[in-house]
Amino acid sequence: MSELELARVHRTMDAYIARRRPRPEIRDELDIGYSVENQSVIVHEDRRLYDGSRMIEPVAKATWVKTQRIWKIFWMRADLRWHGYEPLAAARTLDKVLEEIDADPYGCFWG
């Protein structure tokens, strides 16, 4: 990803996370965030466990395919591997990916 593309991704994701985060008073128990790894953006939940440690659990992944100019969408199944999200395998914009993750019509992302 170029620096311009990366800046656009961070701007889009920061706005998404700001809209989607839980209320401030419970963020110590449950929060969401994202990371950028190479060509992929990973949305994750951050939960505090009973022993006080933290668990980062991936929710969804979108991978930019520059040659096709699309975002491929993935979800993590019980086998802890990323699988293509068949209802909408790809989208032209990251905003469209985030709309699908929010809608979650099949319960693949948020349960």
Question: What pLDDT is stored for residue 18 in this prediction?
Answer: 96
Confidence of residue 102 (pLDDT cuts 50, 70, 90): very high
The residue extents of the domains of the chain are 3-103
Round the average pLDDT of the chain to a whole number and report it.
95
Q: What is the DSSP letter of 110?
A: -
What is d(CA 17, CA 59) in angstroms, rounded to the nearest whole number?
A: 13
Contacts for 75 with CB less than 8 Å, ≥ 6 apart:
59, 60, 61, 82, 83, 85, 108, 109
pLDDT in tens, 13-42: 999 999 999 999 999 999 999 999 999 999
Could you write out the DSSP letters of every residue in 49-109?
Answer: -TTS-EEEEEEEEEEEETTTTEEEEEEE-TTS-EEE-GGG-EESSHHHHHHHHHH-TTSSS
Return the amino acid letter for 10: H
What is d(CA 72, CA 101) in angstroms, rounded to the nearest whole number?
A: 12
